[in-house]
Amino acid sequence: MRPKLGIISLTCCEGCEFAILDLGKRFLKLHKYFDLIDFHLIEDKEGPKKFDLVFVEGSQVTSEDIETLKRIRKKTKFLYALGVCATEGGVQKIKNYHQEVVDPKFVYKKPQKLSNTKVLPLENYVKIDGKVLGCPIDGEDFLRVCYEILAKNYSVNLERPVCYECQIRKYKCLLSEDKPCLGSASVGGCKAICLSGGLPCLACRGVLRDLNFENFKKAILDRVPEERFWQLLETYGVKDRVGKSKVQNPNVK
């Protein structure tokens, strides 16, 4: 029996699913080794009773989201959080930090029956076995996890700052141009893709575990006011990860 692979999305932009679809032929090849299920973008049948590996993208905003997540957890052997919405909360988590202004009544004239819970990483609701990082994810990381599970050979993600990947590619250092780049504090693996486009890093892969937060903060505050510093950390919802010693490691158990 081929292992059953599911990809499920909660509330999000579904960009990570497209990152997977964009693998094109390499994605189709995955069908040789897996039964692909509940990938709602291309297939239209209900999922089976048991899964071997499920990727969950998005964050829980509606009560159905939480139910789906808990139901899937019971059905599957491995559950991976896919993309920053699942691992940290993503852009929709910004509202957590500004409850006073981010109220549905400002977007909807008469907000009726809208579920608007705080956005939290999925690991706050269920046990997760690993993470695929990024906003959006790199399709390669997804493939790697799939084949590792298949081979029962679980690698450990090395934590290296974005700066490392940026500098080996000889991109211009934005910090040296006085732009508030979070690369020095952020988990790499992204091939510094934002930096290739000149966009300062916004820590979509989370912050380093052994970060010297005070030094990092000082370096950014030399460039922008403190309010902006915290705003940047809020972008993908990593603000509550910094300044604490224990940050979840994106490792497979």
Residues forming the site for another protein (CB under 8 A): 9-19, 21-22, 24-25, 28, 31, 36, 40-45, 60-62, 64-65, 90-92, 94-95, 98, 101-104, 106-112, 114-116, 135-136, 172, 193-194, 196-199, 202, 228, 231, 235
Q: What is residue 137's three-state secondary structure?
A: strand
| Helix (H) or strand (E) run with residue 206 in it | none
DSSP state for residue 64 in the 8-state scheme: H
**Closer by beta carbon to another protein, 94 or else 126:** 94
CB of residue 225 vs another protein: minimum separation in angstroms? 10
Within 8 A by CB and 6+ apart from 157, the residues are 189, 249, 250, 251, 252
| Nearer CB in complex with another protein: 129/235 | 235
Nearer to another protein, 9 or 87 (CB): 9
CA angle 232, 135, 83 (to 5 degrees): 120
Cβ proximity to another protein: between 28 and 158 the closer is 28
CB of 214 to another protein, least distance (A): 24
Contact 186, 164 (CB under 8 A): no
Q: Least CB distance from residue 53 to another protein, whole Å?
A: 18
Nearest-approach distance from CB 156 to another protein, in angstroms: 27
- Of residues 92 and 129, the one with the C-beta less far from another protein: 92
Using only C-alpha atoms, the chain has a radius of gyration, in whole angstroms, of 19
Nearest approach, Cβ of residue 249 and another protein (Å) = 25
**147 contacts: CB under 8 Å, gap ≥ 6:** 33
- Report the run of H or E that residue 21 belongs to, with start and end: helix 15-21
